[in-house]
Each structure stands twice: as C-alpha cells, then as structure tokens.
Structure 1
Amino acid sequence: MKKAELAELYRYWESLREENGTVPKKKLDPAKLPKILLPNMAVLEKPAGEDRFRYRLAGTALSEGIDPSGQYLDDVLANIPAYADHLNILFNEALHSRTGLYSEHEYEVGPPFIRRLILPMTCHAGLPSFLIKCTLFKRSSSAVPMPWQSRPQQIRELVRTTPGQALR
C-alpha cells in the first residue's frame, strides 16, 4: 500500500468537513472508505472526562497477535510504556487539530517503517472525541513482529505534519 491510498482516505475525510472545519462521526460512511485500507484502519475514542484512548474497532492487520477492539490503548500496551506514550502523543495531537496528523517513523525492531494518518472526528456534542487511524507498514514476512509485539525502545520520527501537506 502506498501514500496514494492514504491520500484517498484523506480526501474522503476532507469532503465530510462542515463549515466550522470539523468532521462529525455520524457523517462517516464505512462503505465509502477505501477497501484496501480497511485491514489497516482503527477507530479510537477518547471518552469524556478521561485522558486515555479506547479502540472501538481495529482492522485485521492491526489485530495480529492481539485484538485491541474495546480495550484502552494503555492497557493493550501496558508492557510497552514507551510505545504507548509515543502513540498517545500522536493521538492527542491529531484529536486537538482540525486537520489531522500524518507521520512516518522508523523502529529498531518490527516493521522498519510505518506511515500513519490520524484524522479527528466529533461526537454528537460537537467535541473532538474520535479518531480514524490508518497505519501502513512493510514487513518482509509474518515472522517480523509488529511494534506492539517487539517492544520498540527507539522510535525515530521522520515526518510529522498535516495530511494536507504530506498527501496532496
């Protein structure tokens, strides 16, 4: 999968924007999401009054070895606090932006290169509380562990920018 598929997802998300710049979760139509990306997508929620994210749904590629659906990020990654902190920073930054976040990272173990597109959505009260996340990675084989299986300690950020800059 390539950046072009992420750009397609971003364009669809952008088409849902309202005048105030937000994207209501209720406008999202799963049938219009790029099918090739579905295994690599997740929906996360930051419940009101909580400072943590819960996976509402995770695609099959993201659930390999552990299905995070219905679980909190920090519980899923309890044995890998550095990786949980890394994702929390990205998720919070994306949630509080109106533009989302595009990032590229290298890890010393697991898939060596990961691209993420993280897009905020609002709930019925108009508050940003949901994220659509798509994670693309290359693995030479299924024997190569995923980051949550390999416990990365060193994470090298290559790119962190708005999706509009990275994907246009």
Structure 2
Amino acid sequence: MNKMNLTYEDTESGVNLTRHKSYFNEAAADYLSVQRKTADIESLIATIQKKDTGINPYMIMYCATLLKEAVITKLSAGNAVDVFGLGTFYLIAYPQKDDESKTTISVNFTPSQEARDAVSGVDISTLQQENTDPVITALKNLYTKQEGDVLSAGYSVRVSGTRLRIA
C-alpha cells in the first residue's frame, strides 16, 4: 500500500467462469470457478478521484492506511470487525490433530447482504468447460536416457504429462 499509481484503468465488466466436473460423486452437480480480478487500494482511490470529489488522493491513502491499522488492531485483540457495512471479519479456531493443546487461530469473512446484492446482477462474460484432455509433455527413452520422440523398440519409455490414464 505504499505505491501511489493513481492512473485509473477501467476494468472489464463481467465474470469469466470455468465449469469443472465433480469426479467424486457422479450425482453431484458440477462446480464453477471464477477467474478473479482484484481491485487494489490505488484502483479504488482512482475510482474516487474519477468522481471529482476534490479530496487529495494522498489523504485518502493516509485514511485508508489508518483504517487498515485499526482493523488489524481490533482483529489482533480478538474482536470481529464490520468493514464499512460490506461484511464482517471474524476469528475462527482450528485444533491441531497431533497436539490437542495447540490451536490455530485464523480469520474468516462473511459478506453483508448489501455486498451479496451488489454481485447478484454481475454479467457472465464467458462460461468455458474445464479442459480434461490428456496432455503428454515429455517422452524419455529409458534405454538411451534421451528425451524426445525417438524411442527404442523393446525398451521402456517414461511418459510425463497431465491427466494421463493407464489403460
């Protein structure tokens, strides 16, 4: 949050989704993953500046830094924090499996209804199917120890790649 690149770049609207098949349960529905575009603080400040509010961008950055530090202080004190009515950061605990006396504390976020409503009308730009085709990335002749497409008859070969199946 120390850089100040306040050139506004209008991001694409819409969401790109990828449909993945559920291989663990044939009856279960497929699941979707969203390709996320993250707006950083500089982008948010540039969006505010586009409205010609007359507020100095360095003052906005300073106030944002103070608010961030206050949120971190409250979280480190064990408090849940509502962030601008957009949702609540809250603490969660995970017990260690090997040592029950140790517990890991982490943080979760629950979005508010206002935030959920804001994304309910987002346009889906693209919906693509997951690529499940096998891909061979390398062949290694184990007799000559050479990689490439030249194989020795009667000798073993190592096939490397992704989504390969043994038939």
Q: Which has more helix, going by share of residues? A: 1
TM-score where L is the length of structure 1: 0.24
Higher CA-based Rg: 2
Q: Which has more strand, going by share of residues? A: 2
TM-score where L is the length of structure 2: 0.24
User: Higher RCO, 1 or 2 (CA under 8 Å, sep at least 6)?
Assistant: 1
